[in-house]
Chains A and B, each alone.
Chain A
Amino acid sequence: MNDSNWLRRVLFVLLLGFGELAAAQANLRIDTPAVAALRASMRENHKQLAPLYASGAVGLTRDGNIGLRDANLVPLAQRAEVNGLIAQANQDRGALYREIARANGRPEWENDIRATFAQRWIERAQPGWYYQNTSGAWVRK
Chain B
Amino acid sequence: MHRGGRSVVTALLGCGALCACVTINIYFPAAAAERAADRIIEEVWQLQPDSAKPPAGKPAGPQ
| Size of A's binding interface in residues, CB under 8 A | 37
B32 neighbours in A (Cβ, 8 Å): 25-28
Q: Given that A21-B20, A43-B46, A124-B47 are known contacts, is A112 also in contact with B40, CB under 8 Å in the complex?
A: no
Instruction: Mark each residue of chain A from 110 to 136: 1 if its CB lies under 8 Å from any CB of chain B, else 0.
Output: 001100110111111000000101100
| Chain B interface, >50% SS class | helix
A74 within 8 A of B: no
- Is B37 a contact partner of A116 (Cβ separation < 8 A)? yes
Find out whether the CB atom of B17 lies under 8 angstroms from the CB atom of A13. yes
Q: In whole angstroms, how far apart are the Cα atoms of A116 and B10 in the complex?
A: 40
Q: Mark B34-62, 1 if CB is under 8 A from A, else 0.
A: 11111111111111001000010010011
**A116-B37, A120-B55, A124-B45 are known contacts. Are A17 and B29 too (CB-CB below 8 A)?**
no
Known: A120-B55, A124-B47, A133-B62. A24 touches B13 (CB 8 A): no
Residues 1-41 of A, flagged 1 when their CB comes within 8 A of B and 0 if not, give 00100100010011011001100111110100000000100
In angstroms, how far is the closest chain A Cβ from the Cβ of B18? 10
Within 8 A of A (CB), among B19-39: 20-21, 24, 27-30, 32-39
A112 partner residues in chain B, CB cutoff 8 A: 28, 30, 33
Write the residues of chain A forming the contact surface with B, with a CB cutoff of 8 angstroms: 3, 6, 10, 13-14, 16-17, 20-21, 24-28, 30, 39, 42-43, 46, 96, 100, 109, 112-113, 116-117, 119-124, 131, 133-134, 139, 141
